[in-house]
Amino acid sequence: MNCLRCKEEMFKAKLKGDAVGTVVYLTNKKNGIFEAEKNSAVSCYVCPKCGYIELNADNANNLI
């Protein structure tokens, strides 16, 4: 994947929180108590030249 700003090749990195074992993911839940929460893991890409960060949903279709 190339950087949208400077076109440099980006590398994949882990995005971590301050708690041990924190997993970053996206969620989508429709209103209603019987609706299940849908989620997707997130991948993080970093540009080594300008520092631009891009986040992508690994399974965006799971959120629908």
For residue 29, is it within any domain?
yes
For residue 36, is it within any domain?
yes
For residue 50, is it within any domain?
yes
For residue 2, is it within any domain?
no
Q: Which domain range does residue 30 map to?
A: 11-63
For residue 40, is it within any domain?
yes
For residue 51, is it within any domain?
yes
Q: What is the pTM of this model?
A: 0.74
pLDDT digit string, tens, across residues 8-53: 999 999 887 666 666 777 888 888 888 788 899 889 999 999 999 9
Three state DSSP letters for 4-63: CCCCCECEEECCCCCCCCCCCEEEECCCCCCCCCEEEEEEEEECCCCCCEEEEECCHHHH
